[in-house]
Structure 1
């Protein structure tokens, strides 16, 4: 299938896509403020730029767009045009994400990934439910977790902090 836009129009559309202060990030920031959690935005930690860093909890919060990071949910759809390009791009993003999370874990930084589908779209979590999941993670002994439209993704990471 051919693209319905000219290359110039497609370039203009893609250039308009934001990589910080997205709607999803602004919604997460509002929830963190409701919880009265102090955070820093767009901080570089362990060679990774994180959306939010919560110093009190030594936690990096990453808000992942479901398309750009290839999340298996209702918001992700493989493009019909330039499919190979997009699948390669998404796989590259996922590999980079893995490198960043590994580096942060090695540096003993906790990681909370909040997927776009948890905060927007027809299957999003209620605001109270999102706040509860964030708070639950921060008060837990987990090193890493993901929140999606179903709540926690329990299969992603079962590792917990050692109690020594």
Structure 2
């Protein structure tokens, strides 16, 4: 498991590159904020998390609990979900808007075209909406 990345994953890099090309500037993995968001947009008081469906136990076709060491994986994924459940309210209470882009929206059989994801993120950043969630069209 030491070889599995928590930062700079392919879905994260695709989203970062696209939003940067649209003119958005952001900080990466700000450890001062709860949950260390993947992308922090101080100008818009917004953060975006790019969640891997397996690691965060998403209810989509990309998540399947492994058949071996089931209890280990179940507890690990439940811990990740518990951290997610604490992080979003903590960020909102400190005045941040929270967006989540799921891996299944970027890749997989129900993926959304990248241009559409980028357009949705861009319009959310410019809006006053408190939350954003982008997930696969098949979930």
Interval of TM-score (by shorter of Structure 1 and Structure 2) = over 0.9
Match of 1:92 among 79, 89, 94: 79
RMSD: 1.6
Deviations 1:72-101 (A, max 9, x none): 111111111111111111111011111111
- Aligned counterpart for 2:106 among listed residues 119, 123, 137: 119
- Tell me what 1:82 maps to: 69
Sort the Cα spacing of 1:131 and 1:47 in 2 relative to 1 into closer, same or farther, 3 A: closer
Residue 128 of structure 1 and its aligned partner are, at CA, apart by 1.1
The aligned counterpart of 2:6 is 19
2 CA distance for matches of 1:66 and 1:45? 25
In the superposition, the TM-score normalised over structure 1's length comes to 0.79
Contact 1:46–1:103 (CA under 8 A) maintained in structure 2 = no
Please point out which of 111, 124, 130 is paired with 1:143: 130
TM-score, structure 2 length as denominator?
0.93
Number of residues of Structure 1 aligned to a counterpart in Structure 2: 139
Question: Offset at 1:145?
Answer: 1.7
Q: Give the secondary structure class of the aligned counterpart of 1:77.
A: coil
What is aligned with 1:44?
A: 31
Secondary structure in 2 matching 1:125: coil
User: Does structure 2 retain, via aligned residues, the 8 Å contact 1:46–1:100?
Assistant: no
Q: Which stretch of the first structure deviates more once superposed, 17-26 or 139-148?
A: 139-148
Q: CA deviation at 1:63?
A: 0.5
- Point out the structure with max Rg over C-alpha: 1
